[in-house]
């Protein structure tokens, strides 16, 4: 009965899209769905409205209220425009930046959004072609705009697209603006309320000057110019995986002084179909396969791959046997943080007022590095908008060194407020040169960090549950972990539980409760065991999956002990998985 009622509601909703306000192509596809014997695609397309969440929109492209198309994107843009006009009513001219990635329909969605903003009297600075997401953040700040959007679904499969909304500081929106924008978007109840008729006089295409300005500002971050000069010929393979990184990263590396950047020609091809990979995600080994093969063939030392919107970077380095190994996001975060603090100290830049930011699911080794060097560490929620929030709160009070998260995102500069693969690639290349100048490889540098600060191994495990039933299953899993919390992890007693949905911390030894100091609640659960093991559990905010983050700790006294520690940690991770039932 419930299914038949849902199908009836869905069919009624779909038929409303057959009105003249929708274009002929949309109406044709709606009719095809309505006439299909199998109604599953129709239900998935209309059973709910694609939600404009705190990070914007992200979903599968297609017709329907639960899909990314010009009408759902249009409603989001109209709602954002309505909010901007209220929030900045006293400004003579409100302005926004619009950028997009390589995905199918990204340019279309960007241009439609430009039309809508301009139709509402808002000036638009539109990038003429695809550009990295962090450059949109940079441009908002550089041009003094009140907001901006980037059409991107980051590393999602090719069927997806998305819509990220930014505020005047170049960061993705948070409270109170996120909820207020969502309310305005939800008030757009009809396609008739979306003003698609643009005003060309208010749309300005940006030129190459914004690229040059961005790269020039990134060059000011360099801390080891002499090492770069000595090792300018180091062979570096870089791939944009068909995405936006190809527009700037090779230029930026060359401007920094590196002269031997090796391309993967097949992956320089801009394509939203990502023809050479199953998934354009630099977290996955398969996405770097062609780049690693190129590095082996050319004798390169370093492999870097940015995701389609170039805000994250995956890395492969040679081990002691000359084989390429992939670093995970926690390892690159650790290397970045260690290098920046070390060089700031060596150059006399530390004053005792500096800080670093990491997310609550990222490696705890960062605490060891910052504590030993007298640097303040801030923990925040997953998502770079929270790192940007810490930066906003510390503006003019403390000096930002860097911040990152386990999901391969890092930000070394304070004039951008989102993770940045351009600066990260520049920084990685510089670290490789600096390590070489100190007689070691990047891999050996990582081992030396483990010896000094402790060894850790982290593993992210995603359980995918697509569709309506999947969302319900994920919700049930989170509920079960809360109502029946773990008492042990691979034999080690759970001594502390953090439930960020209620901002409650539970000391299981003392049976005591504390309030967690966070800016808002979040659907995250953490278990901390007596032996240092940490497990974090959260539903993804952008994909149909529940994520488990497992972190194991031990000590090593030399490089020779790292391999054995790694094997032992892997076995322990498997035991923790069994404890969790995943």
Residues 261-306: pLDDT tens digits?
Answer: 999 999 999 999 999 999 999 999 999 999 999 999 999 999 999 9
DSSP structural state of residue 172? B
Residue carrying structure tokens 């870089």 = 238
Query: Whole-angstrom Cα distance, residue 276 to residue 281?
Result: 12
Please pick, among 137, 154, 224, 579, the residue that the annotation labels catalytic: 154
Domain 455-580 has CATH 3.30.310: yes
Q: How far is CA 415 from CA 146, 213, 400, in A?
A: 16, 12, 10
> Is there a contact between 353 and 396 (Cβ–Cβ < 8 Å)?
no
Q: Regarding the domain delimited by 214-453, which CATH topology (the fold level of the hierarchy) does it fall under? A: Alpha-D-Glucose-1,6-Bisphosphate; Chain A, domain 3 (3.40.120)
Asked whether 306 and 315 are in contact (CB, 8 A), the reply is no
Q: What is the pTM of this model?
A: 0.94
Q: What is the pLDDT along the chain (582 residues), one digit of tens a residue?
A: 457 899 999 999 999 999 999 999 999 999 999 999 999 999 999 999 998 877 789 999 999 999 999 999 999 999 999 999 999 999 999 999 999 999 999 999 999 999 999 999 999 999 999 999 999 999 999 999 999 999 999 998 999 999 999 999 999 999 999 999 999 999 999 999 999 999 999 999 999 999 999 999 999 999 999 999 999 999 999 999 999 999 999 999 999 999 999 999 999 999 999 999 999 999 999 999 999 999 999 999 999 999 999 999 999 999 999 999 999 999 999 999 999 999 999 999 999 999 999 999 999 999 999 999 999 999 999 989 999 999 999 999 999 999 999 999 999 999 999 999 999 999 999 999 999 999 999 999 999 999 999 999 999 999 998 887 888 899 999 999 999 999 999 999 999 999 999 999 999 999 999 999 999 999 999 999 999 999 999 998 767 899 999 999 999 999 999 999 999 999 999 999 999 999
**Domain 68-207 is classified in which CATH homologous superfamily?**
Alpha-D-Glucose-1,6-Bisphosphate, subunit A, domain 3 (3.40.120.10)
Distances 510 to 149, 490, 496, 506, 507 between C-alpha atoms, Å: 48, 22, 10, 9, 6
SS3 302: strand
Residue 271 among the catalytic residues: no
Instruction: List pLDDT tens digits, range 226-271.
Output: 999 999 999 999 999 999 999 999 999 999 999 999 999 999 999 9
């Amino acid at each position: 009965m419930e299914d038949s009622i849902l199908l009836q509601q869905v069919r009624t909703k779909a038929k409303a899209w057959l009105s003249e306000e929708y274009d002929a192509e949309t109406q044709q596809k709606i009719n095809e769905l309505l006439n299909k014997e199998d109604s599953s695609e129709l239900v998935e397309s209309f059973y709910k409205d694609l939600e404009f969440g705190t990070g914007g929109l992200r979903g599968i492209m297609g017709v329907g209220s639960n899909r990314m198309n010009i009408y759902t994107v249009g409603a989001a843009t109209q709602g954002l425009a309505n909010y901007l006009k209220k929030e900045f009513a006293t400004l003579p001219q409100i302005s926004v930046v619009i950028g997009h990635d390589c995905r199918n329909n990204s340019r279309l969605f960007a241009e439609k959004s430009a039309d809508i903003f301009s139709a509402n009297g808002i000036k638009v600075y539109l990038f003429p072609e695809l550009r990295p997401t962090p450059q949109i953040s940079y441009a908002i700040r550089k041009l003094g705009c009140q907001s901006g959007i980037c059409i991107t679904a980051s590393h999602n499969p090719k069927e997806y697209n998305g819509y990220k909304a930014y505020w005047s500081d170049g960061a993705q929106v948070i409270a109170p603006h996120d909820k207020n924008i969502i309310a305005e978007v939800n008030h757009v109840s009809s396609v008739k309320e979306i003003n698609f008729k643009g005003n060309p006089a208010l749309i300005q295409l940006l030129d190459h000057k914004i690229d040059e300005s961005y790269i020039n500002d990134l060059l000011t971050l360099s801390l080891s110019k002499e090492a770069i000069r000595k090792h300018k010929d180091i062979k570096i393979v870089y791939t944009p995986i068909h995405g936006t990184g190809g527009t700037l990263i090779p230029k930026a590396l060359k401007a920094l002084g590196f002269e031997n950047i090796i391309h993967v020609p097949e992956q320089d091809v801009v394509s939203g179909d990502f023809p050479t990979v199953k998934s354009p995600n630099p977290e996955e080994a398969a996405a770097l396969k062609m780049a690693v093969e190129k590095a082996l063939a050319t004798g390169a030392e370093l492999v870097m791959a940015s995701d389609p919107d170039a805000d994250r970077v995956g890395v492969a380095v040679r081990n002691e046997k000359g084989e390429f190994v992939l670093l995970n996001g926690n390892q690159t975060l650790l290397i970045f943080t260690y290098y920046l603090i070390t060089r700031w100290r060596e150059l006399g830049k530390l004053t005792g007022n500096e800080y670093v930011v990491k997310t609550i699911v990222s490696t705890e080794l960062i605490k060891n590095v910052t504590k030993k060097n007298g640097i303040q560490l801030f923990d925040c929620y997953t998502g770079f908008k929270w790192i940007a929030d810490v930066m906003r709160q510390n503006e003019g009070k403390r000096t930002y060194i860097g911040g990152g998260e386990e999901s391969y995102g890092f930000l070394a500069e304070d004039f951008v407020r989102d993770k940045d693969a351009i600066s990260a690639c520049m920084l990685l290349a510089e670290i490789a040169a600096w390590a070489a100048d100190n007689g070691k490889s990047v891999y050996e540098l990582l081992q030396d960090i483990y010896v000094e600060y402790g060894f850790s191994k982290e593993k992210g495990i995603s359980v995918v549950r697509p569709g309506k039933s999947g969302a319900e299953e994920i919700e049930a899993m989170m509920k079960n972990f809360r109502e029946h919390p773990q008492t042990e992890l691979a034999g080690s007693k759970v001594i502390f539980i953090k439930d960020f949905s209620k901002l409650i911390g539970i000391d299981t030894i003392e049976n005591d409760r504390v309030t967690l100091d966070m800016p808002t609640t979040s659907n995250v659960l953490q278990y901390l065991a007596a032996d240092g093991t940490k497990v974090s559990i959260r539903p993804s905010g952008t994909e149909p999956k529940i994520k488990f983050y497992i972190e194991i700790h031990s000590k090593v006294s030399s490089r020779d002990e790292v391999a054995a520690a790694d094997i032992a940690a892997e076995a322990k991770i498997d035991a923790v998985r069994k404890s969790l039932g995943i």
